[in-house]
């Protein structure tokens, strides 16, 4: 019986080999294998669920971020990747503390607010002051001395899909630099209208920084509703008086690390395509869309290629950066640690715009680079990710870009991204597993393509893409 079985099995194998079409390992075939494998694989979502549900938010200096770094390295090792290791980086250690605020006059209202990352605390007992509201720095300057002793509300609404004119980028300078601008004119604190695109009394945090020489005054983001209320009260001619208490502290820098894992190249292992994301997050929500999703995409992209036995010509390197949110020390640290091999970095792709369906790529490269990437992305038409535009990169890979590395961003649909970005509502339920899997497919295919093609992408001029 056993003999008969073995003979039968051998026959079947021979027959199958005869019937199977000759499968060339060509571009289209590989694209199909990568995209298909990514789309049927729930792995990215499972990783993201663990990262957000079991570890949680991951602010620099927190135990959670340390746990996430250990977890990610262990996962990538289990995936069988090469030379998985962490690269130490010192990061800012800011902690939020208690925070509260209220309108005292002309009527009592609580303010729903969140301290901006990096803010100093209020003095004991808090700060009470009258509010002046401005839409931007020009209007602030025109107020001159009228700002002295006041609390300044920076109130510039952003709109959904608002682009450079009316989107996040149009107002983020107010959050980052508003406190110092106002303090130079004598303001005692700043309130910033949350940079968000929905109205659910949800404050949006984010980083702020102090200019050298400017007095350090506290900065908080209030909700869109509360900013509207202040404006309406001011419009009646009333004096609007606000009380603010912020307990934030900046502790000494903490130890942290980037997580690095290679899928080593078969022909030119010392030439590198970086695919990156950031593992840190704000301390509100669980950092699912910013940027847990990006890290799930990056991890699953290299794991998928590895699992498929696809060893690229050059090395594909996953880098899970630390401290993107409040210091960008991870990105700077990687570029410094690898300064001697920047020339051998042939491209870098970052995923840091959430988990919306992938639309394509943004590209910063030398002449012909956008067209080259567009040709490669053509294979992603069937998953809607073939739209390639000029201008791309990401905060973590910007030091590489500045040093001349062709830089790409995986472009996600961000229609709802700024509804939840930097808030308590940045949680796993905002991520669609299907969209996430499509992102893995797009990232894996582009990384493979850039690592595989004969000629590397043309390098951008130094400084190309700055100011984005």
Please give the residue ranges that form the binding site for a copy of itself (CB under 8 A). Answer: 49, 53-56, 106-109, 112, 198-202, 224-225, 228-229, 232-233, 285-286, 419-420, 423-425, 427-430
| 111 versus 348: smaller Cβ distance to a copy of itself | 111
The two three-digit tokens of residue 165, written as one number: 């004119």
The two three-digit tokens of residue 320, written as one number: 């899970």
For residue 457, the 8-state DSSP code is: P
CB of 442 to a copy of itself, least distance (A): 26
Give yes or no for a contact between 218 and 122, defined as CB atoms under 8 angstroms apart.
yes
| Annotated catalytic residue within 324, 325, 452, 464 | 324
Give yes or no for a contact between 159 and 167, defined as CB atoms under 8 angstroms apart.
yes
Give yes or no for a contact between 351 and 415, defined as CB atoms under 8 angstroms apart.
no
Q: Which residues of 377-395 are buried (b: 16+ CB within 10 A; e: fewer)?
A: bebbeebebbebeeebbbb
Distance of alpha carbon 363 from alpha carbon 83, whole angstroms: 28
- Dihedral sign computed on CA atoms, order 71, 72, 76, 77: negative
Q: Which helix (H) or strand (E) holds 315?
A: strand 314-321
What does the angle CA 141 – CA 147 – CA 153 come to, to the nearest 5 degrees?
85
| 5 versus 236: smaller Cβ distance to a copy of itself | 236
CB of 96 to a copy of itself, least distance (A): 12
Distance of alpha carbon 292 from alpha carbon 428, whole angstroms: 9
Give yes or no for a contact between 313 and 270, defined as CB atoms under 8 angstroms apart.
no
For residue 52, the 8-state DSSP code is: I
Q: Is residue 324 flagged as an active site residue?
A: yes
| 54 versus 85: smaller Cβ distance to a copy of itself | 54
| 428 versus 447: smaller Cβ distance to a copy of itself | 428
| 55 versus 183: smaller Cβ distance to a copy of itself | 55
Q: Which of 268, 306, 346 is nearest to 82 (CA)?
A: 306
CB of 187 to a copy of itself, least distance (A): 24
| 109 versus 266: smaller Cβ distance to a copy of itself | 109
Give yes or no for a contact between 446 and 349, defined as CB atoms under 8 angstroms apart.
yes
Give yes or no for a contact between 348 and 405, defined as CB atoms under 8 angstroms apart.
yes
CB of 95 to a copy of itself, least distance (A): 15
CB of 371 to a copy of itself, least distance (A): 40
Distance of alpha carbon 178 from alpha carbon 260, whole angstroms: 36
CB of 157 to a copy of itself, least distance (A): 11
Give yes or no for a contact between 385 and 358, defined as CB atoms under 8 angstroms apart.
yes
Q: Which of 224, 230, 222 is nearest to 157 (CA)?
A: 224
| 203 versus 312: smaller Cβ distance to a copy of itself | 203
Distance of alpha carbon 114 from alpha carbon 237, whole angstroms: 27
| 81 versus 288: smaller Cβ distance to a copy of itself | 288
CB of 169 to a copy of itself, least distance (A): 23
Helix (H, G, I), strand (E, B) or coil at 381: helix
Place of tokens 């005692």: 188
The two three-digit tokens of residue 287, written as one number: 């950092």
CB of 109 to a copy of itself, least distance (A): 6
Question: Among all residues, which ones are annotated catalytic?
Answer: 324
């Amino acid at each position: 019986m056993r003999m008969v079985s073995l003979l039968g099995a051998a026959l079947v194998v021979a027959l199958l080999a005869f019937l199977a079409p000759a499968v060339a390992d060509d571009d289209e075939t590989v694209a199909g294998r990568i995209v298909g494998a990514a789309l049927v694989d729930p792995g990215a979502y499972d990783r993201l669920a663990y990262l957000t549900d079991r570890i949680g938010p991951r602010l620099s200096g927190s135990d959670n971020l340390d746990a996430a770094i250990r977890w990610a390295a262990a996962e990538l090792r289990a995936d069988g990747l090469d030379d998985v290791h962490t690269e130490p980086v010192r990061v800012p250690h800011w902690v939020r503390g208690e925070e509260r605020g209220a309108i005292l006059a002309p009527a009592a209202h609580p303010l729903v607010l969140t301290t901006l990352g990096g803010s100093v605390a209020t003095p004991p007992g808090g700060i009470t002051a009258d509010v002046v509201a401005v839409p931007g720095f020009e209007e602030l300057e025109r107020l001159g001395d009228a700002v002295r002793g006041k609390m300044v509300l920076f109130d510039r609404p952003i709109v959904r899909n608002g682009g450079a004119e009316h989107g996040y980028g149009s107002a983020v300078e107010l959050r980052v630099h508003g406190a110092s601008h106002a303090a130079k004119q004598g303001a005692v604190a700043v309130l910033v209208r949350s940079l968000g695109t929905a109205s659910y009394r949800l404050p949006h945090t984010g980083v702020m920084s102090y200019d050298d020489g400017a007095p350090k005054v506290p900065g908080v983001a209030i909700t869109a509703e509360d900013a509207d209320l202040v404006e309406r009260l001011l419009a009646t001619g009333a004096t609007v008086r606000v009380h603010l208490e912020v307990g934030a502290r900046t502790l000494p820098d903490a130890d942290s690390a980037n997580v690095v894992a290679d899928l080593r190249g078969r022909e030119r292992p010392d030439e590198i395509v970086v695919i990156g994301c950031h593992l840190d997050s704000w301390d509100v929500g669980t950092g699912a869309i910013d940027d847990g999703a990006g890290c799930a995409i990056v991890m699953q992209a290299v794991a998928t290629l590895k699992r498929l036995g696809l060893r690229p010509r050059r090395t594909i390197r996953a880098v899970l950066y630390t401290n993107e949110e409040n210091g960008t020390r991870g990105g700077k640290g990687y570029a410094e640690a690898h300064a001697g091999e920047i020339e051998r970095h042939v491209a870098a792709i970052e995923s840091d715009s959430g988990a919306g369906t992938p639309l394509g790529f943004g590209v910063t490269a030398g002449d012909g680079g956008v067209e080259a990437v567009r040709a490669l992305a053509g294979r992603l038409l069937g998953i809607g990710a073939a739209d390639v535009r000029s201008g791309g990169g990401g905060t973590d890979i910007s030091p590489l870009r500045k040093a001349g590395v062709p830089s790409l961003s995986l472009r996600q649909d961000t229609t709802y991204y700024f509804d939840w970005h930097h808030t308590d509502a940045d949680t796993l339920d905002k991520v669609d597993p299907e969209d996430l899997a499509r992102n893995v497919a797009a990232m894996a295919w582009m990384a493979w393509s850039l690592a595989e093609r004969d000629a590397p992408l043309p390098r951008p001029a130094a400084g190309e893409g700055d100011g984005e």
